[in-house]
A and B are shown apart, each in its own frame.
Chain A
Amino acid sequence: MVKKVVVGAHYGLKDWLAQRVTAIVMAVCTLVFIGALLGGGPLSYASWKALFAKGLFGLMPLLTLLFVVSVLIHAWIGMRDILMDYVKPTWMRLAFQVATILWLVACAGWAARILWRL
């Protein structure tokens, strides 16, 4: 029988790194988005929709995709950390964690529907 030992210096490193990489991706996306908003004229429905559909020389869909995936990963790790710290009974923590994952996947699905029907 294989027993995986979940202790040691490198356990959790991937999540730690993912948290930072996704943070940087979202920070850059945020700054670029604010720049695009400030660079554009007064907001109308047409310009607002065009910004998401084909803004930033057509790179906006890629930017929103990166952002949505980053939020998904970042929020999962963050919520998992919070739940690990404050929810002690294992069954309750697991239930909250599963709910968090399902909720985040549902949110990502909705985001995809909104952004890719434009």
Chain B
Amino acid sequence: MPDLTAKKKRPRWYNLSPLNLPLPGLVSIFHRVSGALLFLGLVWFLFLLDMSVSSEAGFAHFRTYVGHPLVKLALLALLWAYLHHFCAGIRYLFLDIDKGVDLVASRRSSYAVLAVSLALTALLGVKLW
């Protein structure tokens, strides 16, 4: 008797690229990535805070330090991480209390999280520099 299950095998290909994720999935993995970034950036924040409040000279040094283009770029990335983590976190708090859990609403809110955090990063970035 021929093996029927063998005939039913189809080629399978899963596209696991993050760019292929639906929006809520993208927001989810960004939440994780931004959280890890913030954890790694924590010690640098402390370094900056320590410098800025240590003395008048430290504050002046802090100003020139954060004026460096590479430092600005890194700070902008961490600013995005903070804002994305903030916005996505608020979305999760609403999902926790069963607000906006249906497909349409959750897609909309994840789009809003991406848009608002990017817009705020741009806004604050322009304002700070």
Contacts and interface: CB of A to CB of B under 8 A. Distances in A.
Interface string A36-70: 00000000110011001000000000000000000
A118 interface: yes
A71 B53 contact: no
Contacts, number: 47
The B contact surface, by secondary structure, is helix
B90 interface: yes
Interface residues of B, number: 21
Contacts of B70: none
Given A82-B36, A107-B46, A118-B53, A48 B86 contact: no
Contacts of B32: 82
B93 interface: yes
Given A24-B93, A75-B42, A30 B86 contact: yes
Q: Give the interface residue-count category, chain A.
A: 20 to 34
Given A78-B39, A110-B46, A111-B49, 16 more contacts: A27-B89, A27-B90, A45-B55, A45-B56, A45-B60, A48-B52, A48-B53, A49-B53, A75-B42, A100-B39, A104-B42, A107-B42, A107-B46, A111-B46, A114-B46, A114-B53
Interface of B: 32, 35-36, 38-39, 42-43, 46, 49-50, 52-53, 55-56, 59-60, 86, 89-90, 93, 96
